Amino acid sequence: CHGKIILTLSKYKMTKITFITFGKIKSEPIKELIEYYLMLLGKYSKTEYRVLKDVDGRKVEASDLNSSFRDLGYTIAVSEQGTDFTTEGFKFFVDKRFRYENNITFIFGNAFGLDQEFLQKCDYSIALSKLTFTHELAIVLMIEQLYRVLNITSGGSYHK
């Protein structure tokens, strides 16, 4: 059992997780939480956090990403229209993706969300909740949930 955990963690270290968001985070406490959870997540995977220029509307946002879409690996849009998961279901999803993908990119739209056409190009779409969150808080929640499921998979006690 212990050997399996080590094997699983070493596989995760090979997977790079990128978070792409639009517009700078204005709230200092939110910035600190993002940095904190990225640091924790870094124990399990390589991470990158990219901030693209904020724009008005969805179409321009999508076109900014389209130019580099092929380089993003397995793309997951974080959208209110996406699939809802329980923590256990999300753990299973992440474990499966990490076994088969070298690069996983989570894309957050701005306050207007992501363009429908762009959403269809993504490999998958995840909803954090049926509740509405600010763009900034959604980023924190997604990074925290990824840390949570990777910690669970590794036998950690964060979730208890």
**In this structure, CATH architecture of domain 2-153:** 3-Layer(aba) Sandwich (3.40)
User: Would you state the pLDDT for residue 36?
Assistant: 97
Higher pLDDT, 82 or 2: 82
Distance, in Å, from the CA atom of 3 to the CA atom of 134, rounded to the nearest integer, reads 41
Q: Nearest-CA neighbor of 78 among 41, 129, 29? A: 129
At 80-109, the pLDDT tens digits run 889 999 999 999 999 999 888 989 999 998
DSSP state of 15: S
User: Would you state the pLDDT for residue 58?
Assistant: 55
